[in-house]
Structure 1
Amino acid sequence: MGQIQKLEKLTALQIAAGEVIDRPASVVREILENAIDANGQNIQLEIFNGGIQKIILSDDGDGIAKEDLELTVERHATSKIQSISDLNQLHTLGFRGEALASIAAVAKLSITSKPQNQEHAWQIKTDGLNRKTSSPSSGIEGTRVCIEDLFYLTPARRKFLKKANSEYHKVDQVVKKICLANIHYQLIFKNDQKIVRKIPAATSIAEAKPRIEAILGNEFTNHLHFHSHESAMGQIHSWVAHPKFSRARSDLQYIILNSRVIKDPAISNAIKRAFNDVMMIGRYPALVLYLSLDPAMIDFNVHPTKEQVKFQDIQEITRWIVSVLKKQIDQILSVSHTKPSPSPTLNYVAQPITDSKITTSSISHQKPLHDFIDNPVQGAEPDPQQVAFAYDEKEQSQTDKTTLFKSDEGMMPFRSEKDIGSSLSQEKQQHQSLTLGQPLHHLGKRYILSEVEDGLIIVDAHAAHERILYEALKKQYEDIGVVTQNLMLPLEIQIDDSICDCIKEYMTVIEQFGFHVEVVDSSLIKLSGIPKLLQHSDPKKLFLDMVVELQQDHESHLISEKVNQILATIACHRSVRSMRGLSHQEMASLLRQIEQTELANVCNHGRPTWIKMKSEEIDHLFHRS
């Protein structure tokens, strides 16, 4: 007799069920998705002892006809699809036809249902031993599913469950995800007969803020901003928290694709890239991202949980997501303003703040970024003092008529009280039209205090100037383009066949990054040029890291990230330092530049550059009504 035997049906069912049902949260996911697919508008979920003892779900959806009831607990029986081609146009959450059959194999299950056009309800019961009975029952329109004694026939599986409280929290996580992804129904969630969540329905994603608050709390929703975008690719609806509301983990990042919460490392990385310039290192943005794509572009039939997805062109999708999120971040961090009208006492143009001993006439002679890239100092890191803005010499010569910065003696020309009073009076007439107002004082040689119509603005001068310089340096670098530094001697690098194939496939992209490389054979290349701004990096490591990223992700962001790191360092060292006093006009110039700079609400490290205290808040501090 042979050693291979066919498993008995019950054993096979219980083994297969283990792929779909591994804990109470899995049961809740499957039956809640079924209720949503059945168009339930009012859903109630109850669990007892963390869902291990009992789970009950009731909905007022379409219901299940008497003749279909017994088929619900059969494997691969479903009303969602009929053929393999239907997987290309999925519009339901379930489609595998395994959920109820898997639950019936590991627990006691009863389903009571009544469609609208059926005289009365019918019920089917199973006991986990492949035995089932059906009978008439009382019940209102909709469906009631009851699961008891989960894994009572498989003690080996049951002993791996956590304590009831831990299982409850896992169920709660599933409820939150599904309720975020599907918004058109009301849900009441009870744990041991106590209501723990009452989640209202929403008419649209744009109107879903109260629902999101009921799910994720008002601390999160108080910082949310909504944005909607539509293109040939599909639709993106996003609720994004202000970057100042960041997390130590990515626990408040929800990616929802066609009404399903998914986990995808490429999309998570795209979110990280979008927030790269505005988020502190080690912190994660918080957002709910709704993606609507053509079902033909994606494949959900990867894993029973349906959280893993395959895309036809993930690179195009991630570039789209980064672009849309960056625009939303720009809007969140924008400083809306009205340009001031010309004034005889404020006849200045926005200029970068320089060292206290540098006059305005000397600024135009400082070394711009393109000079540094073309003529670097060999063997040394870039000198931040060699990098400055490019200036319009005509504007500069006009500006020289009025001293904007400190003189060589480090002092502003003396102004009488009469002059000061006249100047402040004219400024006061202007400042109401300016978002950040006009400066009052440089507090502690660190913070600029500025008055606006409805309160007080406090600006971190160093952080704000750092962002201004960083954005200007990025713009200069983009205008110049990538410059290649030829190596004195070509560097020979040993490679394998897969790396060689990748280099050949992406040779055009590699050259655009600033590398010059020659493929000698399948095991050897010669590297003769690297990006000039990264010339102090290890050429071999830099090149191979980029190729590996191309090989794995079919795109690389390594070079741009390293360039931005250098530009950020230059901006940080170049910006005005704390304990360096600023004149009134220097402060005013900085405020105007903040108003005109993208992302100026936060510095390169994600810290705020300015805050606003409204008059009401100040009154409250002094107990004024």
Structure 2
Amino acid sequence: MPIQTLPDTLIDQIAAGEVVERPASAVKELIENALDAGATRIDVELEEGGMRLIRIRDDGSGIPADELALALSRHATSKIASLDDLEQVTTMGFRGEALPSMASVSHFAIVSRPASQAHAMRIESDGGKLQAAQPAQHPPGTTIEVRDLFYNVPARRRFLKAERTEFGHIEELLRAFALARMDIELRVTHNGKQVRSYRASGSDDERLRRLGEALGADFPAQSLALAHDGAGLRLSGWVGLPTTARSQADQQYFFVNRRLVRDRVVTHAVRQAYADVLYHGRHPAYVLFLDIDPVRVDVNVHPAKTEVRFRDSRLVHDFLFRSLHQALAGARAGAAGGEALGGVVPAAAANAPAFEGTQRSPAGIAHPLAGMVAPQPYAMRQGSMSLPVREQIGAYAALYGAARNDATAPAPADTGDGAPPLGYALAQLHGIFVLAENAAGLVLVDMHAAHERISYERLKTAQDGEGIRAQPLLVPLTLAVSEREAQCAEERREALAALGFEIDRSGPQSLTIRGIPALLDGVDARRLALDVLSDLIEHGSTRRIEEQRNALLSTMACHASVRANRRLTLPEMNALLRDMETTERSGQCNHGRPTWVQLSRQELDRLFLRGR
């Protein structure tokens, strides 16, 4: 077949296959156009999961009458005009493909009126065949109708799923828009019935309410708010507590300049940040916003604009990891809003504790609570590595009063403002749980899980102070690698040495391992070296050594912690509570299980039907 120019209709249908995969894709493109037009209210009307009808009405700036037909031309856009514009895109849409692509595979109509025009204009397209524009009645703004999507492309229509499935994809998409732009009112109707109504949110309480409407009432109470700035980047939003992780990754929303994206760099950074606190096989929930200079991110990677490419992916990865890691480290048992840090969270606890790298609140998603920094544990300040509970009594007596050091003294009854967050111990139950009274009510602590986390964090602190020592191998190992891996090992020799590896390049595609991290003696050195090199190539950094080390320290901490059925004195129990309050990540044990639970006075009253 000779080379020939394709007809415009076929070109549009090819583009439609890239841009409009299903009804949800069409809804995404149309809502993005409405947001770019400055809309403050968007109404979405659907029939049969969007396969029969998609109608989207906005109150944006509208399209002038003389530009209406041009809007349905290929690669016609008002959002970019030069290569410089393309390299710093600030709008949601910019490629000029969406409207003509949709018009080529549907019965399409657009009605629009700028505020400066006396009346609106309507233009229709039937499978790409454009009709003349006609006057119409319409308030300022735009309405777009997409009927019978893929009616003229039977092969594509057969790939659509059941109505319920297609509508589910649209619901998930609209949920993301509702989170990304809380300042926009968004209403959804399906088959004549209103199914969603997201009211515009301005205040902190309204944003938390909208967050709960989108992700469930428990999410705001079971998450940490954060806002962190650094290196020209800004991360803000909410991250779910490790103890409320989910069985699947169905509540993970990451926005770059308010654009929802799926990115491997982001996913890897989040997974690493949660690695030390998440139960095996569970997935964290989060709603995060990364604000970055548009010049430093390329959004023109995929026709559907669901992927981005960072100019400096290593910087972004490290910034995300450190910000989230620090925020999660602040999840100490008994911190402000303490009930949100335990394993059970009252539904009414609307305000999650916040971590802030700066005092500025992120635009659109400010949180009412400022960050809190707990004091360093006494034993850490003294350089102690890991002391049995009984040996810490003297230290806590100095902090909380000598009377607490008397093993026969009853627990203080004062649970007012002067009491510690976790209160004072009352008793031990079944040799496993510590019962304590605080200002909010009753605290239950799994003593082994709590002490395991305390021991683990102290082991890590001690190891971090010593650094990673290398242990020479009696017999050096030869490792066959790719030329890229060999080059990486040669270029990053100092970085590998800092991790405890002594690796030399012995050929174009071979390495010689002469030393490994001393703490990891006995591991598969070949496998570990390959994994470390893979991380250095892919992300520019690696935490493999730290993860392996932490796994070993976690096992050591588990064996060093107080065991079940060991009877503790009241001072020992109080020492454990004080340790929990000042230890990072003490809301959960090394395996991700909760270490404590708060039962409020109101919950206790309900259990006994008091006040009824």
TM-score normalized with structure 2 length? 0.87
| Aligned equivalent of 2:519, options 511, 521, 533 | 533
Cα distance change on mapping 1:584 and 1:184 into 2, 3 Å: closer
Cα distance change on mapping 1:496 and 1:58 into 2, 3 Å: closer
Matches within 5 A, 1:511-526: 511-526=497-512
| Amino acid in the other structure paired with 1:13 | D
> Residues 107 and 147 of structure 1 are in contact (CA less than 8 Å); yes or no, is this contact kept in structure 2?
yes
263-272 vs 9-18, which deviates more? Answer: 9-18
Cα distance change on mapping 1:248 and 1:183 into 2, 3 Å: same
Q: Unpaired segments of 5 or more residues in structure 1?
A: 338-348, 353-363, 370-386, 406-414
| Amino acid in the other structure paired with 1:622 | F
Give 1:17 deviation, angstroms: 1.6
Alpha-carbon deviations, 1:505-555, whole Å to 9, x = none? 211111111011222221332211100001110222221221122222222
Alpha-carbon deviations, 1:309-366, whole Å to 9, x = none? 00011111111112222232233435349xxxxxxxxxxx9789xxxxxxxxxxx9xx
Alpha-carbon deviations, 1:146-179, whole Å to 9, x = none? 1111111111111111111111111111111222
What residue number does 1:565 align with? 551
Matches within 5 A, 1:403-442: 420=408, 423-424=409-410, 427-429=412-414, 433-442=419-428
- Measure, in 2, the Cα distance between the counterparts of 1:96 and 1:22: 16
> Residues 459 and 610 of structure 1 are in contact (CA less than 8 Å); yes or no, is this contact kept in structure 2?
yes
| Amino acid in the other structure paired with 1:546 | V
| Amino acid in the other structure paired with 1:265 | R
| Amino acid in the other structure paired with 1:538 | D
> Residues 261 and 307 of structure 1 are in contact (CA less than 8 Å); yes or no, is this contact kept in structure 2?
yes
| Amino acid in the other structure paired with 2:240 | A
| Amino acid in the other structure paired with 1:428 | A
Cα distance change on mapping 1:521 and 1:392 into 2, 3 Å: farther
What residue number does 1:587 align with? 573
| Amino acid in the other structure paired with 1:146 | E
| Amino acid in the other structure paired with 2:96 | G
Alpha-carbon deviations, 1:213-260, whole Å to 9, x = none? 222221323323322222342221111222222111111110011010
Matches within 5 A, 1:10-159: 10-159=9-158
Cα distance change on mapping 1:430 and 1:61 into 2, 3 Å: closer
State how many pairs are aligned. Answer: 564
- Measure, in 2, the Cα distance between the counterparts of 1:18 and 1:281: 39
Give 1:388 deviation, angstroms: 5.7
What residue number does 1:358 align with? none
Is residue 2:455 matched to residue 1:456? Answer: no
Cα distance change on mapping 1:204 and 1:92 into 2, 3 Å: farther
| Aligned equivalent of 1:554, options 533, 540, 543 | 540
Matches within 5 A, 1:157-306: 157-203=156-202, 208-306=207-305
What residue number does 1:412 align with? none
- Measure, in 1, the Cα distance between the counterparts of 2:464 and 2:278: 22
- Measure, in 2, the Cα distance between the counterparts of 1:518 and 1:224: 46
The SS at the match of 1:578 is coil
- Measure, in 1, the Cα distance between the counterparts of 2:91 and 2:568: 62
Cα distance change on mapping 1:528 and 1:430 into 2, 3 Å: same
The SS at the match of 1:133 is coil
> Residues 263 and 308 of structure 1 are in contact (CA less than 8 Å); yes or no, is this contact kept in structure 2?
yes
> Residues 601 and 609 of structure 1 are in contact (CA less than 8 Å); yes or no, is this contact kept in structure 2?
yes
244-253 vs 218-227, which deviates more? Answer: 218-227
- Measure, in 1, the Cα distance between the counterparts of 2:21 and 2:49: 14
Cα distance change on mapping 1:580 and 1:90 into 2, 3 Å: same
What residue number does 1:578 align with? 564
Cα distance change on mapping 1:611 and 1:480 into 2, 3 Å: same
Give 1:104 deviation, angstroms: 0.8
Q: Unpaired segments of 5 or more residues in structure 2?
A: 337-376
| Amino acid in the other structure paired with 2:215 | L
- Measure, in 2, the Cα distance between the counterparts of 1:434 and 1:447: 19
Matches within 5 A, 1:433-512: 433-512=419-498
What is the RMSD computed on CA atoms of the aligned residues?
Answer: 2.8
| Amino acid in the other structure paired with 1:131 | L
| Amino acid in the other structure paired with 2:116 | N
| Amino acid in the other structure paired with 1:317 | V
The SS at the match of 1:55 is strand
206-215 vs 46-55, which deviates more? Answer: 206-215
Alpha-carbon deviations, 1:387-421, whole Å to 9, x = none? 7689999x79x99xx9999xxxxxxxxx9xxx95x
Give 1:88 deviation, angstroms: 2.3
217-226 vs 434-443, which deviates more? Answer: 217-226
- Measure, in 1, the Cα distance between the counterparts of 2:389 and 2:575: 17
The SS at the match of 1:178 is helix
- Measure, in 1, the Cα distance between the counterparts of 2:442 and 2:554: 29
The SS at the match of 1:571 is helix
What residue number does 2:606 align with? 620
| Amino acid in the other structure paired with 1:141 | P
The SS at the match of 1:509 is helix
> Residues 350 and 592 of structure 1 are in contact (CA less than 8 Å); yes or no, is this contact kept in structure 2?
no
> Residues 443 and 598 of structure 2 are in contact (CA less than 8 Å); yes or no, is this contact kept in structure 1?
yes
Identical positions, percent: 36
Cα distance change on mapping 1:564 and 1:173 into 2, 3 Å: same
- Measure, in 2, the Cα distance between the counterparts of 1:59 and 1:141: 9
> Residues 225 and 240 of structure 1 are in contact (CA less than 8 Å); yes or no, is this contact kept in structure 2?
yes
> Residues 428 and 568 of structure 2 are in contact (CA less than 8 Å); yes or no, is this contact kept in structure 1?
yes
What residue number does 1:6 align with? 5
Give 1:504 deviation, angstroms: 1.2
The SS at the match of 1:590 is helix
- Measure, in 2, the Cα distance between the counterparts of 1:200 and 1:512: 53
Cα distance change on mapping 1:430 and 1:51 into 2, 3 Å: closer
Cα distance change on mapping 1:523 and 1:173 into 2, 3 Å: same
| Amino acid in the other structure paired with 2:127 | G
| Amino acid in the other structure paired with 1:84 | L
Cα distance change on mapping 1:430 and 1:211 into 2, 3 Å: closer
75-84 vs 230-239, which deviates more? Answer: 230-239
> Residues 120 and 137 of structure 1 are in contact (CA less than 8 Å); yes or no, is this contact kept in structure 2?
yes
Cα distance change on mapping 1:193 and 1:291 into 2, 3 Å: same
TM-score normalized with structure 1 length? 0.85
> Residues 468 and 517 of structure 2 are in contact (CA less than 8 Å); yes or no, is this contact kept in structure 1?
yes
| Amino acid in the other structure paired with 1:613 | L
Cα distance change on mapping 1:438 and 1:210 into 2, 3 Å: closer
| Structure index of larger Rg | 1
> Residues 404 and 586 of structure 1 are in contact (CA less than 8 Å); yes or no, is this contact kept in structure 2?
no
Is residue 2:583 matched to residue 1:597? Answer: yes
